[in-house]
Structure 1
Amino acid sequence: MSTKTLKAKCLCKNVSVTAPEVKAHVDSCHCSMCRKWSGGPFLAIDCGTQVNFQGSQYISTYNSSDWAERGFCNNCGTHLFYKLKETKQYIMPAGLFDNLEDAEFTTQIFVEEKPSYYDFANQTKMMTGEEVFAAFNDEA
C-alpha cells in the first residue's frame, strides 16, 4: 500500500506534526474508550512509526491501556494520537489533517461496541474487538 507525507497543527498551533508514512485510508473505532475520548466514533488514519512533532512540551500523554497511550495538546486539548506501545505505531485523528480528500474509508473496528444511534453508509470491512486482537497478534 502506498504512503504519503501529511502535516498538521493542533488548534492553538503550538504542536506541529509531520507524518511521512501515512496510509491513505481512514478507519473507525467504535470502542467505548475511543468514543469517550473523541465524542463519537474515532475516525483515524495509520501514520506509521516515524511521526515527528514540534512543540513537544505541549504534548501530554495518557496511558489508556496496557497496549496504548493517547496524546493531546495540553494547551488547547486537540487529540493528537493513539500510540501502540509495542510497535510504536501512531494512529491519528483523520480530522487533524486538512488534505485527506483522496483517502478511502475502509474498516470499522470494535463493531460490537457501536451504539445503535448511528451507522455509516459506507461499505467497509467490519471487525469485532476479538478479530482486531487476533489480527494484531498475527502481525506481531
Structure 2
Amino acid sequence: MKISFYVLSESKAQEFLGFICQLTQTALNKSEQSLLILASDEAQLTALDDALWSKDPLSFIPHQRLLETTDHDTKVATQPLAPVTLSSYMPADFSGIVINTTAHPVSTNNSVKPSRILEIIKPDETSMSEGRHKYKSYQQAGYELTHFKV
C-alpha cells in the first residue's frame, strides 16, 4: 500500500479545508475508487461537510456523511451512495482511498485494506509530532511512503 504525507505550509494550513477539498477533487479525477475522509470529531465533520458543499459551485463534490448506529456495541454503517464519504471511523469493508485528518494512523488489519492513504500534516508542533508517529507506524508495517511539501 502507498501512503503519502502532505506537509502543509503556513499558508496552506490557513486554508486547511480548501486544501482537503482540492486534494479530494484531485484524487477523484485520478481514480475510479471511492474516497473516505476521516475526521476526529463532529465539529470537523460538519466543517468538512460545509466546505465540500460550498468550496466551488462549479465543481461540486458529491459526498455523504457515514451514519452509524450502535447495536450491542457493534458499529453498523450505512452503505455509501456518493463517491466521497465523511466519517469519524474506518468502515470494516472499505477498500478505497483514505484522506486521514485524525491524530492516529489508519488501522489496516485483515478486514480493512484501503488502497491508498493520504495523510495531512499541519505545520504546528502537535501535528508534526503526530505525523512522525504515523510515519514510524506505517514504516514498521512495511508500506511505501512518500511525502510532499505543499
- Please state which structure has a larger fraction of its residues in strand: 1
Same-fold call, TM > 0.5?
no
TM-score normalised by the chain length of structure 2: 0.29
TM-score normalised by the chain length of structure 1: 0.30
Higher relative contact order (CA 8 A, sep 6+): 2
